[in-house]
Amino acid sequence: MARVFIPGPLNSLQKVVSGSKIQISARNVPHLVVDMGDTTFSACWFGKGGFFRVFWPYPSHGQKQSTKDCKTIAEVKEFLDNPG
């Protein structure tokens, strides 16, 4: 199995979001999985655009996923604390 680079912003996000873990997708994309009880979120860092994208529900199992783009770690944390 090839080694996968974990972007610094994703590591930094993991440190401030409790109950999160980094996973590697089947396409070797690192993402942070956050279980918030009734909903599980996935956050990815898009380096070229310089933003995080939060997806839910995760895994989708064929459901339509909603997304939210966030520029900062604080914005992601605030969204995960109050997703509604």
Residue 6 has phi, psi (to 5 degrees) of -100, 115
Q: Where does residue 68 rank: exposed (0-12), middle (13-18), buried (19+ CB within 10 A)?
A: middle
- Residue 32 is given by DSSP the state E
Dist. CA 7–CA 39, nearest whole Å: 25
| Whether the Cβ atoms of residue 55 and residue 67 lie closer than 8 Å to each other | yes
In this prediction the pTM is 0.88
**pLDDT tens column, 56-84:** 999 888 889 999 999 999 999 999 998 87
**pLDDT tens column, 4-63:** 888 899 999 999 999 899 999 888 899 999 998 889 999 999 999 999 999 999 988 888
